[in-house]
Amino acid sequence: MKESGSKISRAEMADKFIEVANEFIKSESKERIGAAIMFAAARYNAFEAHSKSDNLVKDKMDALEWYSNEYKRMLEANLDDLIQTMG
C-alpha cells in the first residue's frame, strides 16, 4: 500500500491495466484485447493532448508525432525485453 502523498509508479499502473486485460482473456482473443487497449490509450492520449493544448487544431500533427514516437519506443523496448527473456 502506498503512503499518503506517494505516487504509484508507471510500471505498477501498467501492471494494473494488464491485470484487467488478463481477465478478458477468459472470453476474448488477445487480438481484441490488444485492440481495445490501443483504442483506450488513443482515446486517453487524445484527451491528454487536448488538455495540454490551447489550439489542438494547430498542435495536432505535433501530438501525433510525439505519441507515435513514444509508442514505438516503448513497443521496441518491450519487444527487446521479450526477445531476451523468451528467446
Asked whether the predicted pLDDT for residue 3 surpasses 80, the reply is no
What's the domain range around 38? 10-86
Asked whether residue 40 is assigned to any structural domain, the reply reads yes
Asked whether residue 3 is assigned to any structural domain, the reply reads no
Q: With cut-offs at 50, 70 and 90, classify the pLDDT of residue 4.
A: low
Each residue of 42-66: b (16+ CB within 10 Å) or e? eeebeeebeeeeeeeeeeeeebeee
Asked whether residue 1 is assigned to any structural domain, the reply reads no
Q: Name the domain count of the chain.
A: 1
Asked whether residue 2 is assigned to any structural domain, the reply reads no
0.75 cut: is pTM over it? yes
Asked whether residue 69 is assigned to any structural domain, the reply reads yes
**Chain centroid, CA 48 distance in Å:** 12
Q: Would you state the pLDDT for residue 47?
A: 98
Asked whether residue 5 is assigned to any structural domain, the reply reads no
